Structure 1
């Protein structure tokens, strides 16, 4: 497995990238030679070493993303690599050539070209420096899922040591990451799967109480925690949100972060569906919600074996991006699909 290394010679004039020229199936993911992106002031150019493959990129490829207004587009909402070029002021703050960095979100891969390429340019504010000896296939799995999980647990739920947390949608990459982070924070974790045979995956992530989700959880949760859990992370969506709200104690909080089941809105919503005293919030996610010191702590915890990284499969080279998206869509292998760009 390749290890993080310093940047080499100056960037070439052209690079290889996966380009979606028109919405479509897997065939819409075309590998092309394109110009290396020119860095704008206030932006950083990164030599990409690895990137995760996400549902939002499948949506972009299919033409179903409201955030993508024009094609062609290079997908990729996250990536890790080394700084190739930055403003002098950014170099003084740590973003100097060769520095290991992660980036994610902020319109990347949708409003502007993303990380399915040898180089990507992004605003300096969404670049997180780090130092690690972990291989790129591990580090490449982290940015989006750890940022979403950590942001949901902290900004969304303000989770504290000793509290109880329910994760609905627990075998998703964010759900598995949230479980490992919550355990590292000192919480007791309940987490769900629709398939009894996948309960072992939850236990491997540190979950204290794996639950089989048959559409109603409130009774199951209250058999274990009669007053209700302190916090709940909703990843399944609005179809089950009313039931999730009933699992939480008075003055507890539900954070709506994802909609794995595809329903993002509730028709004829009434505020009175929220039980008295229960708080409902949401989390959308920004790179700033994963500070450099937090990422450093998580990398150290992975190295020490306290945090598990749920990697489903590692792919090598842009030629395997189609395979990665196909495997992601099949849903047969839990965890993160990671593409590594070997030198």
Structure 2
């Protein structure tokens, strides 16, 4: 048997206990694929859904993890010498092939984004999926200076990132949470207004913005989409990005009857972020974080051996911000 590494292997649909940390063969670089020494991997809701068995076509055993940061260990690509700092996100990671929940990951060269940074690994590991998705969502919304943005699901890592980027773009921000214990932390992290979603969100938002916000970034998903369409101001735009609810489908959705006249509905899928598509944006984000223009909110860092506890912590909605695995 050759060299081994430790990896968190998903063994089948179920709870966090279905992810087992074990010794597995360490892969070797090959043509078109680079071996990365993973230093940190952000945890994402989509990985919880895969673990639960809700990702068709993703079969166990599989090393989950749709993003990671680290250094090149072995590569046949002369543009990726050993020691180069890299990030990777999406493009089949943790789904079509093994992902970031491991000491090493064998990844397609096309996915690797080369970086120069002084950030520590957990901070860097909190950026790729979350901040690129926030950036893409704001672009899809056409967000511009002077507008108002409501972020539904604001205590999530993505919600916090969206508020940070929106403020940098000159937008006024409102963000929501259903947990009263998270209100103060959201306010401390830059939102202009924090709205407690206690079942009558529209009334609470209209006390601040009688006409409604120009833009809504909905990270909850199907259960709140119709409500968001009627909460945004006339002619405004709603972007569906997250699936915090775990529900994918809006039953009996009738576009003509459900979308108010002139209101726009769009979506952003983070599959558009892989490799070169997200490289320039991620480098700008890293530079901005280094310069202190904004910062990722890392709620908690777990070690690789604690991956089941990390999944449980995230599933129980205990985090305000990003959960990161240190590998």
Q: Which 4+ stretches in 1 moved above 4 angstroms? A: none
**1:256-297 deviations in whole A, cap 9, x for unaligned?**
111212322111111111111000011111324863332233
CA contact (8 A) 1:189 1:208 kept: yes
Counterpart in the other structure of 1:164? 148
Q: For the residues of structure 1 that align with 2:181 and 2:119, how far apart are their CA atoms?
A: 31
Q: For the residues of structure 1 that align with 2:48 and 2:71, how far apart are their CA atoms?
A: 26
Kindly report which structure 2 residues correspond to 1:285-296, keeping only aligned pairs within 5 A, or say none.
Answer: 285=270, 286-288=272-274, 291-296=278-283
Q: For the residues of structure 2 that align with 1:144 and 1:79, how far apart are their CA atoms?
A: 9
Counterpart in the other structure of 2:174? 190
Counterpart in the other structure of 2:321? 335
Counterpart in the other structure of 2:69? 80
Counterpart in the other structure of 1:279? 264
Query: Secondary structure, in 3 states, of the residue corresponding to 2:164?
Result: helix
**1:101-130 deviations in whole A, cap 9, x for unaligned?**
111112211121111111112222322221
Q: Does 1:146 align with 2:131?
A: yes
Counterpart in the other structure of 2:308? 322
| Alignment match of 1:98 (pick from 83, 89, 102) | 83
Q: For the residues of structure 2 that align with 1:110 and 1:128, how far apart are their CA atoms?
A: 19
Q: Does 1:51 align with 2:32?
A: no
Q: Which sections of structure 1, spanning at least 5 residues, go unmatched?
A: 1-11
CA contact (8 A) 1:127 1:287 kept: no
Q: TM-score, normalised on structure 2?
A: 0.91
Q: Which sections of structure 2, spanning at least 5 residues, go unmatched?
A: none
RMSD: 2.0
Query: Secondary structure, in 3 states, of the residue corresponding to 1:219?
Result: helix
Counterpart in the other structure of 2:105? 120
Query: Secondary structure, in 3 states, of the residue corresponding to 1:174?
Result: helix
Q: TM-score, normalised on structure 1?
A: 0.87
CA contact (8 A) 2:214 2:232 kept: yes
Query: Secondary structure, in 3 states, of the residue corresponding to 2:101?
Result: coil
Give the deviation of 1:87 after TM superposition: 4.1
Stretch deviating more after TM superposition (212-221 or 170-179): 212-221
| Alignment match of 1:221 (pick from 205, 220, 229) | 205
Q: Does 1:268 align with 2:252?
A: yes
**1:155-188 deviations in whole A, cap 9, x for unaligned?**
x212112221110111111101111111112111
CA contact (8 A) 2:216 2:239 kept: yes
Q: For the residues of structure 1 that align with 2:182 and 2:17, how far apart are their CA atoms?
A: 32
Q: Residues 221 and 49 (structure 1 numbering): CA distance in 2 closer, same or farther, change over 3 Å?
A: same
CA contact (8 A) 2:156 2:321 kept: yes
Q: Does 1:175 align with 2:162?
A: no
Q: Residues 185 and 210 (structure 1 numbering): CA distance in 2 closer, same or farther, change over 3 Å?
A: same
Give the deviation of 1:13 after TM superposition: 3.0
Give the deviation of 1:250 after TM superposition: 3.0
Query: Secondary structure, in 3 states, of the residue corresponding to 1:131?
Result: coil
The count of corresponding residues between Structure 1 and Structure 2 is 323
